[in-house]
Amino acid sequence: MADADIRLIPCRSDNYAVLVHDPESGTTLLVDAPEAAPIARVLDETGWALTHILITHHHPDHVEGIAALKARGGVTVIGPHDEASRIDGLDELLNDGESATIGPWAVRAISTPGHTSGPLSYWLPGLHLAFTGDTLFAMGCGRLFEGDAATMWASLLTLRQVLPDETRIYCGHEYTQKNAEFATSVDTDNAALAARRKEVEAARARGEPTVPTTMRAEKETNPFLRADDPALAEKLGLVRAEPADVFAELRSRRDVF
Ligand code: ZN
Ligand code: FE
Protein backbone atom coordinates (compact mmCIF):
# COMPACT_ATOMS: atom_id res chain seq x y z
CA MET A 1 0.00 0.00 0.00
CA ALA A 2 1.34 3.40 -0.98
CA ASP A 3 1.69 6.08 1.65
CA ALA A 4 -1.43 8.17 2.04
CA ASP A 5 -1.32 11.91 1.54
CA ILE A 6 -3.06 13.60 4.47
CA ARG A 7 -4.30 17.20 4.59
CA LEU A 8 -5.61 18.86 7.72
CA ILE A 9 -8.06 21.60 6.75
CA PRO A 10 -9.05 24.32 9.23
CA CYS A 11 -12.75 25.18 8.90
CA ARG A 12 -15.12 27.64 10.61
CA SER A 13 -13.57 29.07 13.80
CA ASP A 14 -11.81 26.02 15.25
CA ASN A 15 -13.02 22.92 13.37
CA TYR A 16 -10.85 20.51 11.43
CA ALA A 17 -11.68 18.43 8.38
CA VAL A 18 -9.16 15.89 7.11
CA LEU A 19 -8.54 14.61 3.59
CA VAL A 20 -6.79 11.27 3.09
CA HIS A 21 -5.69 10.56 -0.48
CA ASP A 22 -4.30 7.36 -1.99
CA PRO A 23 -2.30 8.26 -5.11
CA GLU A 24 -2.43 4.74 -6.57
CA SER A 25 -6.18 4.22 -6.56
CA GLY A 26 -7.21 7.88 -6.52
CA THR A 27 -9.32 7.27 -3.42
CA THR A 28 -9.92 10.54 -1.58
CA LEU A 29 -11.58 10.33 1.80
CA LEU A 30 -12.87 13.32 3.75
CA VAL A 31 -13.56 12.99 7.47
CA ASP A 32 -16.30 15.39 8.56
CA ALA A 33 -17.66 18.27 6.51
CA PRO A 34 -17.80 21.41 8.69
CA GLU A 35 -18.24 23.65 5.62
CA ALA A 36 -17.65 23.11 1.92
CA ALA A 37 -15.52 26.05 0.75
CA PRO A 38 -12.12 25.38 2.37
CA ILE A 39 -12.39 21.68 1.52
CA ALA A 40 -13.38 22.39 -2.10
CA ARG A 41 -10.39 24.73 -2.36
CA VAL A 42 -7.95 21.95 -1.38
CA LEU A 43 -9.65 19.52 -3.76
CA ASP A 44 -9.33 22.04 -6.58
CA GLU A 45 -5.67 22.81 -5.77
CA THR A 46 -4.64 19.16 -5.59
CA GLY A 47 -6.89 17.89 -8.38
CA TRP A 48 -8.08 15.11 -6.09
CA ALA A 49 -11.59 13.84 -6.84
CA LEU A 50 -13.50 13.32 -3.60
CA THR A 51 -14.73 9.71 -3.40
CA HIS A 52 -15.86 9.21 0.22
CA ILE A 53 -16.97 11.21 3.24
CA LEU A 54 -17.01 9.74 6.75
CA ILE A 55 -19.18 11.57 9.28
CA THR A 56 -18.52 11.26 13.02
CA HIS A 57 -21.72 12.80 14.43
CA HIS A 58 -24.74 14.92 13.66
CA HIS A 59 -23.71 18.37 14.92
CA PRO A 60 -23.96 21.14 12.28
CA ASP A 61 -20.25 21.98 12.48
CA HIS A 62 -19.49 18.45 11.24
CA VAL A 63 -22.13 18.00 8.52
CA GLU A 64 -23.00 21.34 6.94
CA GLY A 65 -20.65 20.86 3.99
CA ILE A 66 -22.07 17.48 2.94
CA ALA A 67 -24.61 18.68 0.37
CA ALA A 68 -22.28 21.04 -1.51
CA LEU A 69 -19.43 18.51 -1.58
CA LYS A 70 -21.77 15.72 -2.67
CA ALA A 71 -22.91 17.92 -5.55
CA ARG A 72 -19.40 17.60 -7.03
CA GLY A 73 -20.44 14.02 -7.91
CA GLY A 74 -19.03 10.55 -7.31
CA VAL A 75 -19.08 10.82 -3.52
CA THR A 76 -20.29 8.13 -1.10
CA VAL A 77 -21.20 9.47 2.34
CA ILE A 78 -20.89 7.07 5.26
CA GLY A 79 -22.04 7.80 8.80
CA PRO A 80 -23.30 6.45 12.10
CA HIS A 81 -26.42 4.27 11.92
CA ASP A 82 -27.56 5.54 15.31
CA GLU A 83 -27.64 9.19 14.16
CA ALA A 84 -28.85 8.57 10.61
CA SER A 85 -32.22 10.23 11.21
CA ARG A 86 -30.44 13.45 12.15
CA ILE A 87 -27.94 13.61 9.24
CA ASP A 88 -28.98 14.44 5.68
CA GLY A 89 -27.20 12.85 2.73
CA LEU A 90 -25.86 9.60 4.18
CA ASP A 91 -25.53 6.77 1.62
CA GLU A 92 -24.16 4.02 3.86
CA LEU A 93 -24.46 3.41 7.60
CA LEU A 94 -22.12 1.75 10.06
CA ASN A 95 -22.70 0.26 13.49
CA ASP A 96 -20.25 -0.35 16.31
CA GLY A 97 -17.55 -2.82 15.31
CA GLU A 98 -18.47 -2.89 11.63
CA SER A 99 -15.84 -2.33 8.97
CA ALA A 100 -16.05 -0.63 5.60
CA THR A 101 -13.65 -0.89 2.70
CA ILE A 102 -12.73 2.53 1.34
CA GLY A 103 -10.38 2.20 -1.62
CA PRO A 104 -7.30 0.36 -0.31
CA TRP A 105 -8.19 0.88 3.35
CA ALA A 106 -10.19 -1.00 5.94
CA VAL A 107 -12.08 1.39 8.20
CA ARG A 108 -13.45 0.17 11.51
CA ALA A 109 -16.30 1.96 13.25
CA ILE A 110 -16.11 2.32 17.02
CA SER A 111 -19.21 3.53 18.86
CA THR A 112 -18.21 6.31 21.28
CA PRO A 113 -21.37 7.82 22.81
CA GLY A 114 -21.31 10.67 25.33
CA HIS A 115 -20.90 13.90 23.37
CA THR A 116 -23.90 12.81 21.30
CA SER A 117 -25.96 9.63 21.63
CA GLY A 118 -24.68 7.65 18.66
CA PRO A 119 -21.42 8.98 17.21
CA LEU A 120 -18.71 6.86 15.66
CA SER A 121 -14.96 7.11 15.83
CA TYR A 122 -13.12 5.63 12.86
CA TRP A 123 -9.92 3.59 12.86
CA LEU A 124 -7.80 2.86 9.78
CA PRO A 125 -5.37 0.30 11.21
CA GLY A 126 -3.42 -0.01 7.96
CA LEU A 127 -2.53 3.68 8.11
CA HIS A 128 -2.19 3.80 11.94
CA LEU A 129 -4.79 6.54 11.81
CA ALA A 130 -7.94 7.31 13.79
CA PHE A 131 -10.61 10.01 13.77
CA THR A 132 -12.35 10.68 17.06
CA GLY A 133 -14.65 13.61 16.18
CA ASP A 134 -15.74 15.44 19.33
CA THR A 135 -15.21 12.42 21.63
CA LEU A 136 -11.46 12.40 22.30
CA PHE A 137 -9.61 15.70 21.83
CA ALA A 138 -5.91 16.36 22.22
CA MET A 139 -5.60 16.55 26.03
CA GLY A 140 -9.37 16.77 26.39
CA CYS A 141 -12.75 15.27 25.56
CA GLY A 142 -16.10 16.47 24.25
CA ARG A 143 -18.83 18.01 26.32
CA LEU A 144 -21.62 15.73 27.53
CA PHE A 145 -24.58 16.89 25.45
CA GLU A 146 -26.40 13.58 25.02
CA GLY A 147 -24.73 11.17 27.42
CA ASP A 148 -23.67 10.97 31.05
CA ALA A 149 -20.18 10.81 32.48
CA ALA A 150 -20.16 7.01 32.82
CA THR A 151 -21.09 6.67 29.15
CA MET A 152 -18.33 9.00 27.97
CA TRP A 153 -15.78 7.40 30.27
CA ALA A 154 -16.64 3.99 28.80
CA SER A 155 -16.18 5.41 25.29
CA LEU A 156 -12.77 6.86 26.13
CA LEU A 157 -11.72 3.56 27.75
CA THR A 158 -12.71 1.74 24.57
CA LEU A 159 -10.51 4.05 22.49
CA ARG A 160 -7.66 3.66 24.97
CA GLN A 161 -7.92 -0.12 24.81
CA VAL A 162 -8.44 -0.48 21.06
CA LEU A 163 -6.11 2.07 19.49
CA PRO A 164 -2.39 1.18 19.53
CA ASP A 165 -0.03 3.75 21.06
CA GLU A 166 1.43 4.82 17.72
CA THR A 167 -2.00 5.64 16.23
CA ARG A 168 -2.15 9.19 14.90
CA ILE A 169 -5.40 10.67 16.15
CA TYR A 170 -7.24 13.48 14.41
CA CYS A 171 -10.00 15.19 16.41
CA GLY A 172 -12.71 17.63 15.38
CA HIS A 173 -11.46 20.87 16.94
CA GLU A 174 -8.36 22.88 17.83
CA TYR A 175 -9.03 23.07 21.56
CA THR A 176 -5.61 21.87 22.67
CA GLN A 177 -4.19 25.00 24.30
CA LYS A 178 -7.19 25.48 26.59
CA ASN A 179 -7.22 21.73 27.27
CA ALA A 180 -3.54 21.90 28.23
CA GLU A 181 -4.19 24.76 30.65
CA PHE A 182 -6.96 22.77 32.29
CA ALA A 183 -4.94 19.54 32.35
CA THR A 184 -2.00 21.18 34.11
CA SER A 185 -4.39 22.73 36.64
CA VAL A 186 -5.63 19.31 37.78
CA ASP A 187 -2.59 17.10 37.08
CA THR A 188 -0.02 19.27 38.76
CA ASP A 189 3.21 17.26 38.73
CA ASN A 190 3.02 15.39 35.43
CA ALA A 191 6.31 16.17 33.67
CA ALA A 192 5.17 14.87 30.28
CA LEU A 193 2.09 17.07 30.50
CA ALA A 194 4.05 20.18 31.49
CA ALA A 195 6.44 19.63 28.58
CA ARG A 196 3.60 19.10 26.13
CA ARG A 197 1.84 22.25 27.29
CA LYS A 198 4.98 24.23 26.40
CA GLU A 199 5.12 22.59 22.95
CA VAL A 200 1.46 23.33 22.35
CA GLU A 201 1.82 26.98 23.35
CA ALA A 202 4.82 27.36 21.04
CA ALA A 203 2.99 25.72 18.14
CA ARG A 204 -0.07 27.94 18.58
CA ALA A 205 2.12 31.04 18.86
CA ARG A 206 3.53 30.09 15.43
CA GLY A 207 -0.02 29.61 14.16
CA GLU A 208 0.48 25.87 13.72
CA PRO A 209 -2.09 23.15 14.45
CA THR A 210 -1.59 20.78 17.40
CA VAL A 211 -3.49 17.97 15.65
CA PRO A 212 -2.86 15.08 15.08
CA THR A 213 -1.95 13.69 18.46
CA THR A 214 -1.07 10.06 19.26
CA MET A 215 -2.61 7.58 21.64
CA ARG A 216 0.75 7.38 23.42
CA ALA A 217 0.75 11.15 24.08
CA GLU A 218 -2.89 11.07 25.19
CA LYS A 219 -2.28 8.23 27.64
CA GLU A 220 0.52 10.25 29.21
CA THR A 221 -1.07 13.69 29.29
CA ASN A 222 -4.87 13.62 28.87
CA PRO A 223 -6.52 13.63 32.32
CA PHE A 224 -9.80 12.38 30.83
CA LEU A 225 -8.06 9.16 29.75
CA ARG A 226 -6.57 8.73 33.21
CA ALA A 227 -9.65 8.88 35.45
CA ASP A 228 -8.67 5.41 36.73
CA ASP A 229 -5.24 6.61 37.89
CA PRO A 230 -5.34 6.66 41.73
CA ALA A 231 -2.76 9.47 41.83
CA LEU A 232 -4.97 11.72 39.70
CA ALA A 233 -8.04 10.83 41.80
CA GLU A 234 -6.11 11.85 44.91
CA LYS A 235 -5.19 15.22 43.38
CA LEU A 236 -8.93 15.81 42.91
CA GLY A 237 -9.70 14.87 46.52
CA LEU A 238 -11.40 11.67 45.36
CA VAL A 239 -9.35 8.91 46.96
CA ARG A 240 -10.74 5.44 46.12
CA ALA A 241 -13.56 6.93 44.03
CA GLU A 242 -14.89 5.04 41.02
CA PRO A 243 -13.14 6.07 37.78
CA ALA A 244 -16.47 7.19 36.30
CA ASP A 245 -16.94 9.53 39.27
CA VAL A 246 -13.40 10.89 38.86
CA PHE A 247 -14.17 11.42 35.19
CA ALA A 248 -17.43 13.22 36.08
CA GLU A 249 -15.55 15.56 38.41
CA LEU A 250 -12.95 16.31 35.72
CA ARG A 251 -15.62 16.99 33.10
CA SER A 252 -17.67 19.29 35.33
CA ARG A 253 -14.56 21.26 36.34
CA ARG A 254 -13.60 21.60 32.67
CA ASP A 255 -17.12 22.85 31.82
CA VAL A 256 -16.55 25.94 33.96
CA PHE A 257 -12.77 26.33 33.41
ZN1 ZN B 1 -19.98 18.08 18.18
FE1 FE C 1 -17.86 20.01 16.90
Instruction: Give the pLDDT of residue 1.
Output: 61
Reply yes or no on whether 59 is catalytic: yes
Of the candidates 21, 32, 58, 61, the residue annotated as catalytic is 61
Of the candidates 21, 52, 58, 173, the residue annotated as catalytic is 173
Q: Kindly give the distance from the C-alpha atom of residue 133 to the centroid of ligand 1, in angstroms, as a whole number.
A: 7
Indicate the CATH number for domain 5-255.
3.60.15.10
Instruction: Give the pLDDT of residue 218.
Output: 98
Ligand lying nearest the CA atom of residue 172: 2
* pLDDT tens, residue by residue, 110-161: 999 999 999 999 999 999 999 999 999 999 999 999 999 999 999 999 999 9
Contact indicator for 32, 172 with CB cutoff of 8 Å:
yes
Reply yes or no on whether 61 is catalytic: yes
Reply yes or no on whether 22 is catalytic: no
Confidence of residue 3 (pLDDT cuts 50, 70, 90): confident
Contact indicator for 120, 110 with CB cutoff of 8 Å:
yes
Domain positions in the chain: 5-255
Reply yes or no on whether 62 is catalytic: yes
**Spatial separation of the C-alpha atoms in residues 55 and 63, rounded to whole Å:** 7
| pTM score | 0.98
Q: What is the longest distance spanned by two Cα atoms in the chain? A: 56
